[in-house]
Structure 1
């Protein structure tokens, strides 16, 4: 606000005149603001506050105080005129007309012209400053409104996209099954021995079907995760067996890419944990596939674990190109692909191979559904130095004998199995056992106690998961 015209001597006189006629000024201003009595009562308080503050600022000759008053005035609820909220400049105009009407009816005894000029200066400077403050407030309000609208639109777009993805994934399964059926028929009608060229074409069809089916299943899993519908079939899981399966299935790719896959099996607990073996295997495979994809040929990948406060921290580290700090969280977002897509290979398992950006999202959803957490760490992104990255899967270590979270039938069977183990151990440690004759060699061999298995959800992992995660006990 301009400092021009604020002379101390005339300010004292102006403040005294305003104080003398304050009640009449308030009444006139309130009456001009609205012709409705309820609205006048509502406006009386803010109008009185403004005149009191204006008189104090003029009396103390403090222009800055008047600026503070105007800023606060803008931040307050706007005074309605005839029920409609308006800008404060028109309200200030009402005050100015009330002041001029009172000045004409009751002019000061000395220097009325100078007095009028001084009053006009104060009101003019207030109007100038108020217009700037109100414009800034209006822009800020519009910015917030546009931001809220953009967020609402983005949320609606995401919801629509998620619905489309979910519907499309389920609808694509039917025609894909038809294609797969005809492909199998072609394979039987055109055996490789008699039609090698046709057999090669059928193999190409089968390869495309397999890749498309994997994408559809990933889309369905993402939809289940986002809708919190991912069901877990909890049972005892031997993590070492899952690692064996994951390493075996990645073996051909590792060999082709001349990678070194070092699975530190002994760092994993020999005892089982509670979890869904098929889903946990899927999560491990997704992270391992990501490590393979972004590690150059001849690189190294290591898998290890450590126990931390009733949790198992599974870490998959690689000597790959690394991850930029700003992308460490983004890589767990749906359809997120880091880097220039034009520079990515079309092969799924080749270095920087293409993908839909769903693997890490699924791994994150599976780990969190188990009550765990997942994150990535990397010194940075560099395709020449290859600083590498590390993915951590933190899973809770639950007591298998408690049957926590498992289906009632499985929990009961596990409890019976645990009791059988305790009885067997007590018999082996009894004094009678120590003094009795040694049994025959065939009787000394231990027969492993069976562990109940809940049928797996998908056929393509059923056999391997059953062998790796649910048969027998884990040996150290």
Structure 2
């Protein structure tokens, strides 16, 4: 008896056993029987022609019809069905056929099932990859929307806070003027407290505005000549009181490139380095030291700011440059910009990164880890492009640079 006749003879038993084992419920069985009939017809075609590709269409349809729960569970359902069919074919051949019939049947269908199993695995994997890619795309859209909402909130909150801040400052100044005329010095300390609070709040509002400008690529730079040694000299003078209050030392080395004129936005660059130094002061224990050094690289000046602080764990070395990237329990932080582990909104380093990237530079940190006893320290690396003339041709002319105009 030929293999085709054998397949025709065992067909009823094969279909019935397959339905009983793999389908539950009358509705499911009816639908599954129709699919099994289609599969069995194509199996016969594949055996008759010797081309297992006859099964491709049904395998593809099965893989494409996987439900969301099937895809979420990650099980190879079509592969499992084919595996059950192969085992069932082997059982029927062993129980219902003569030895020669069984060997002929298995010899004919095994290569086809092998092909089908491989093809089903590929189809299922492609379907699952498509599903996961779509899920990731949806998640990415949600995250982008949340980030936009956060940026919009920052911009709105900063704008709304500016008006009451201005009112508080104005009325405080009026009260101080009235107090001077009356000669009553009792409220001086109260007004000083209000003034300090307003200054701190205005600093936060300004940071929020800067973050909003960076997020929306609206941060404008005014390129002017500057010398890094002068920038750091001014910074040292500004933060000298903070260093003294913490008994810390700041060593600014005369590194290569620090006394060369470059073009950059001096105000913004000053702000970026001030934020980095403030971070170093904050996370360095009393009595520690901070060192500014650097070197010239091809096309860049590398500036390093090294502290003897508590360090940063590797998993957080990228997080600190994200907006509101607070580390640790914020309820344990003290307030202030330079107090040891003092709290804050977590905007200083993100703003520094935004300013440096707007200049065409970058920033990263290296640290052996976080340890408040041994204090392994951290080193912030800044790459700043060496600009020998301003990028704006109009400003370049003001400084006497010749600008070549391209012909249209």
Partner of 1:411: 396
Partner of 1:101: none
* Change in 2 beyond 3 A, CA 1:11/1:251: farther
For the pair 1:242 / 2:228, whether they are aligned, the reply is no
Matches within 5 A, 1:310-389: 310-389=299-378
Partner of 1:196: 185
* Change in 2 beyond 3 A, CA 1:146/1:396: closer
Q: How far off is 1:271 after superposition?
A: 2.1
Matches within 5 A, 1:13-412: 13-14=5-6, 50-51=42-43, 54-55=46-47, 73=60, 145-191=134-180, 194-399=183-388, 403-406=389-392, 408=394, 410-412=395-397
Cα offsets for 1:307-356 (capped at 9, x unmatched): 01121001101011111111111111111111121221123210000111
Partner of 2:70: none
Q: Kindly indicate whether the alpha-carbon contact (under 8 Å) linking 2:224 and 2:390 is maintained by their aligned counterparts in 1.
A: no
Q: How far off is 1:197 after superposition?
A: 3.0
Q: Could you tell which deviates more after superposition, 203-212 or 147-156? A: 147-156
Equivalents in 2 of 1:332, 1:52: separation in Å?
Answer: 63
Q: How far off is 1:73 after superposition?
A: 2.8
Tell me the TM-score normalised to structure 1 length. Answer: 0.61
* Change in 2 beyond 3 A, CA 1:281/1:192: farther
Q: Kindly indicate whether the alpha-carbon contact (under 8 Å) linking 1:233 and 1:275 is maintained by their aligned counterparts in 2.
A: yes
Q: How far off is 1:264 after superposition?
A: 0.9
Tell me the TM-score normalised to structure 2 length. Answer: 0.71
Q: How far off is 1:255 after superposition?
A: 0.1
* Change in 2 beyond 3 A, CA 1:74/1:352: farther
Cα offsets for 1:45-77 (capped at 9, x unmatched): x989954785389x89xxxx99x9699636865
Q: Kindly indicate whether the alpha-carbon contact (under 8 Å) linking 2:280 and 2:309 is maintained by their aligned counterparts in 1.
A: yes
Cα offsets for 1:108-133 (capped at 9, x unmatched): xx99xx99xx99xx9xx99xx99x98
* Change in 2 beyond 3 A, CA 1:154/1:193: same
Equivalents in 1 of 2:378, 2:226: separation in Å?
Answer: 27
Q: Kindly indicate whether the alpha-carbon contact (under 8 Å) linking 2:356 and 2:362 is maintained by their aligned counterparts in 1.
A: yes
Q: Unaligned 5+ residue runs, structure 1? A: 1-8, 19-45, 80-87, 97-109, 418-476
Equivalents in 2 of 1:299, 1:137: separation in Å?
Answer: 57
Q: How far off is 1:78 after superposition?
A: 5.9
Equivalents in 1 of 2:170, 2:181: separation in Å?
Answer: 18
Corresponding pairs, count: 337
Equivalents in 2 of 1:304, 1:193: separation in Å?
Answer: 53
* Change in 2 beyond 3 A, CA 1:70/1:299: farther
Q: Kindly indicate whether the alpha-carbon contact (under 8 Å) linking 1:192 and 1:199 is maintained by their aligned counterparts in 2.
A: no
SS of structure 2 residue aligned to 1:346: coil
Q: How far off is 1:252 after superposition?
A: 0.3
Q: How far off is 1:383 after superposition?
A: 1.0
Q: Unaligned 5+ residue runs, structure 2? A: 11-37, 67-76, 86-96, 403-408
Q: Kindly indicate whether the alpha-carbon contact (under 8 Å) linking 1:191 and 1:199 is maintained by their aligned counterparts in 2.
A: no
Equivalents in 2 of 1:327, 1:192: separation in Å?
Answer: 54
Partner of 1:462: none
Q: Kindly indicate whether the alpha-carbon contact (under 8 Å) linking 2:293 and 2:303 is maintained by their aligned counterparts in 1.
A: yes
Equivalents in 1 of 2:392, 2:140: separation in Å?
Answer: 40
SS of structure 2 residue aligned to 1:250: helix
Equivalents in 1 of 2:221, 2:181: separation in Å?
Answer: 41
Equivalents in 1 of 2:185, 2:41: separation in Å?
Answer: 95
SS of structure 2 residue aligned to 1:305: strand
SS of structure 1 residue aligned to 2:292: strand
Q: How far off is 1:180 after superposition?
A: 0.6
